[in-house]
Chain A
Amino acid sequence: MFINWKLREINLKIVYYGPSLSGKTSSLQYIHSRTKPERRGELISLKTREDRTLYFDYMQFEMGEISGLKPRFNIYTVPGQVYYRGTRKLVLKGVDGIVFVADSQIKRLDENVEAIKDLFEDLEELGFVPEEIPLILQCNKRDLPEIMPVLFLKENLGLNGVPTFESVAVDGVGVLDGLKTIINQVVTKARGKINSTPA
């Protein structure tokens, strides 16, 4: 979170995290397509030659002024492949909220579990208390055959009690519901921080 009291702007960072090919970039592309053009910036994607995310995907959107403060949201995805862990960690710097995009297919359970383990380890290494970061679970690819029940997936990820959304990111199903929830969580937490800071 960065608040510029001179310009009356509050900047918040949300990261879409998850295993490779789970639908993080598709989610961001849908969010970009649904954001009013006058409120969104360019969608930046740093891809490999194979069209996979290398550094990150990034977009910014802003909202109208609320209570004299203009919110700007910086949305990032991380590269999912195991060997890009260093990049994932740098994208998590200064994060305010996380959407964990899980691949619902039964055969991807291990990758999901490994990714959530990496996420918590990365957050700790960056000095966060992982439980204090707003987090939601987006169970993606719900349109495919041979998928895990949501409760089973949550249990295996250790995310019982975390707000959960079923999605089909390529069609946009469930993506905005998840985004709106994480934004509300992030804003609620930011309000608490602002209230508790000494004037």
Chain B
Amino acid sequence: MNQGLHIPEELLDQIEYILAHLAEKAHTDSIVLADISGQVISLQGIMDEGTPAVVAALAAGDVAAMAELSKRIGEDDPHGSFFHEGETRSIYLHNIAGSFILIVIFRAETPIGLVRLFAKRAVEQLVPITKEFEKVMGPPKDYNPDDFSKGITQELEETFGNE
């Protein structure tokens, strides 16, 4: 995890397909796949700009807290799941192999059993793909990292202005 993730297009396409299937079958509003450090990997559905990042960061905190709670009662399951039942929308979180988090947001009238069933199937499909992440690396040939470094200084000024 601490070496960073470089996910190529082919794997992202596979993830999107799995999440789209889950969204269709379980009638979800939106789905976020995040890594355990809170970075968004893929989004299915519509969210306001910036919201997926916040959702992923908060879910990562939640999953980590729940994992610690589970340990206190003698459970040590990196595949645990839990959900928040809301009045209009609910959230289902699934820890994928201790490294990734599936976050499913759905309307309160959608049965949780339906979401849980198809989310578990999606997780089974996602596990082998996430294991591939670390093996497949390397940027596209047209990417020049030196230009990237040079451009940062200018962008910092653009983002914050001068002090």
Report A's interface with B, CB cutoff 8 A. 1-6, 11, 13, 31, 34-36, 39, 41-42, 44, 46, 55-56, 58, 60-61, 63-64, 66-69, 71-72, 74, 76, 86-87, 90-91, 93-96, 126-128, 176-177, 179-180, 183-184, 187-188, 190-191, 193-195, 197-199
Q: List 25 A-B contacts (CB under 8 A).
A: A1-B5, A2-B5, A3-B4, A4-B7, A5-B9, A6-B7, A11-B40, A42-B54, A44-B58, A56-B57, A58-B38, A58-B54, A66-B152, A68-B143, A69-B148, A71-B155, A87-B61, A91-B61, A177-B163, A180-B156, A184-B152, A187-B148, A187-B152, A191-B146, A197-B139
Report yes or no: B145 in contact with A191, Cβ–Cβ below 8 A.
Answer: yes
Q: Are B143 and A69 in contact (CB under 8 A)?
A: yes
| B residues near A74, Cβ cutoff 8 Å | 38-39, 53, 57
Which residues of B sit under 8 angstroms from A76, Cβ to Cβ?
Answer: 57
Q: Is the CB of B139 within 8 A of A67?
A: no
Known: A6-B7, A58-B54, A71-B155. 10 other contacts (CB 8 A): A5-B9, A11-B40, A68-B142, A87-B61, A90-B60, A95-B2, A184-B152, A187-B152, A188-B149, A191-B148
- For A123, give the chain B residue with the smallest CB separation: B2
| B86 located at the interface, meaning its Cβ lies under 8 Å from any Cβ of chain A in the complex | no
Contact B159 A36 (CB under 8 A): yes
B40 contact set on A, CB distance < 8 A: 11
